[in-house]
Amino acid sequence: MELRSQKARSLHQSRPVVPCAQCGDTLFAPEWSEYLDECRIRHLWSCDTCGYEFESEVFYPPLGARAA
């Protein structure tokens, strides 16, 4: 079942999964996401386990740079 595990791993990496900075619990989905511009997204995370809230920013290369 190597093919199946590889597929699951790539799916895992494509999602914004982060550990809680307070208790280390895994957060699978941001509370909400804000698009700062076309290549930056800010996620607000809220931990169900300890109630800790924090923000993270995700950077994407511009579409032109990615194609070049």
- Summarize as ranges the residues that interact with Zn ion (CB under 5 A): 20, 22-23, 25, 47, 49-50, 52
In sequence order, what are the residues at sequence separation of 6 or more whose Cβ sits closer than 8 angstroms to the Cβ of residue 65? none
Q: For residues 23 and 44, which CB has a smaller minimum distance to Zn ion in the complex?
A: 23
- Find the shortest distance in angstroms from Cβ 36 to Zn ion: 25
* Residue 57 β-bridge partners: 42
- Detail the DSSP E strand segments found in the chain: 18-19, 26-27, 32-37, 40-46, 53-59
- Find the shortest distance in angstroms from Cβ 22 to Zn ion: 4
Q: For residues 18 and 41, which CB has a smaller minimum distance to Zn ion in the complex?
A: 18
